[in-house]
Amino acid sequence: MRRRDALTALAMAISAIAAPRGLALAGDDLLMEVLRDAGPQSRRILASVEEFELQILWTRCVRAPDGGWRAASQHSSGVQRRRWFAAASFVKLPLAALLLEQLCARGLIDKVDTLRVKLDTGPACAPLPAAAEGGWPLLRLLRAMCVVSDNLAYNALYELLGSDAIHRRLGELGLGDCRIAARLGCGGANRPGKLAARVLDAAGKTLWDSPRNASEQPQLFPFGRALKGRAWMEGGKQIDGAHDFSDSNFMPLADVHRMMLELASGQPLGDAPAFALCPAARALLAQIMALTPRACPDPVYAPDQFADDHAKWLIPLDGAGHLPKGLSIASKNAMSYGYIGDSAFIVDQARDVAFGLTAMVFVDRDGVLNDGNYAYDEIGRPFLRELGAAVLAHERRQL
């Protein structure tokens, strides 16, 4: 047995009583040690953790007897289930899983290459992709949403599933604190009514009919009001006082991390309720989540417009502007209203190392939200790169 595996087994045996769900919960000392050595932005954030609202989850994994991965221990810092933050594009992760659940249940996953999505011509709350004759290729929408975080693709797939069905299923999965009620870029109410949608085969035959729902149930922040900031910018004017985000999208970071571990790894890694995905759907989603824009077959993205780290922020690029060879990084990132984060399952294939890492940090400059005055490039993204690189370096040293 390798030293790393032996130490992991010992830690799991000691903590079995305290972790009845099978996951050895480690303290934060190791994570703090890694952060202090990560780099200048990490030390800056550690000096003012509450100001930056830092939340981190790190799950260390080992090989299972069947050749897959299993979670061995977890480290965390600042994770607060009731703390509101802008979920932003994290909401695309459950939407992708719920879409593929439906394709599996309807026996359509083997036809995914040929399926198309059509919406009715009613007024849409949020912007949708440009019209396409015969509808949009479903797989193209899914890839665009996951690979470059395309908001229009998300909006189209949201109309296909519908808010009521989304939240009913999330509740069944023990994810009832998640709120995914808002389309992205919608200037009106978060309950505009679901558009009718259909999934068609190559010949134009309807295989899945998703009717219009004019009255969706309200989906509000589950822990009271979500007030944030000292002021809000709207229409070029500053409105003093905290803004109420109670009807915005929200996902506890622990739920983001749980979904990412399952969906990005291609397998449930714990005993929490798992998405009802057939093997082909699990493999497809994990593969899509690991794509860089230049490796995406459809849509095709120009490398000079979409860098490898366009939506993967936890690992620095190499000298050629690529993510390091030998690393598989299946992930989903998020950025909105001064919040910036990333959630990834990272595998170093050469060294047989894997871990899950999810982080969120708040880098607003002035307390005025919706003004675009955020330190994403100066603090947020450098911090995420430092964190991911430091955790990867630590994992490699344990071999």
State the chain's maximal CA–CA distance in angstroms: 64
What is the per-residue pLDDT for 269? 85
Tell me the H-state helices in the chain.
3-14, 29-36, 40-47, 49-52, 92-105, 138-147, 151-161, 163-172, 253-265, 279-289, 381-397
Reported as half-sphere exposure (CB side, CA atoms, 13 A), residue 313 has a value of 23
pLDDT over 60 (residue 317): yes
Report whether pLDDT(13) > 70.
no
**Beta strands 237-240 and 231-234: pairing type?**
antiparallel
* pLDDT(19) > 70: no
Domains identified in the chain, total number: 1
Give the C-alpha distances (Å, rounded to integers) separating 359 from 39, 200, 342: 16, 38, 6
CATH number of domain containing 203: 3.40.710.10
Mean pLDDT of 276-296: 97
Q: What pLDDT is recorded for position 123? A: 76
Residue 174 lies in domain: 3-397
Q: Quote the tokens at residue 95.
A: 């939407």
- Is the Cα torsion angle 302, 304, 310, 314 positive or negative in sign? positive
Q: Across-strand partners of 71?
A: 61
The pTM for the full model equals 0.92
DSSP code, position 105: H
Q: Is 397 within 8 Å of 372 (Cβ atoms)?
A: no
pLDDT in tens, 352-389: 999 999 999 999 999 999 999 999 999 999 999 999 99
Mean pLDDT of 317-324: 92
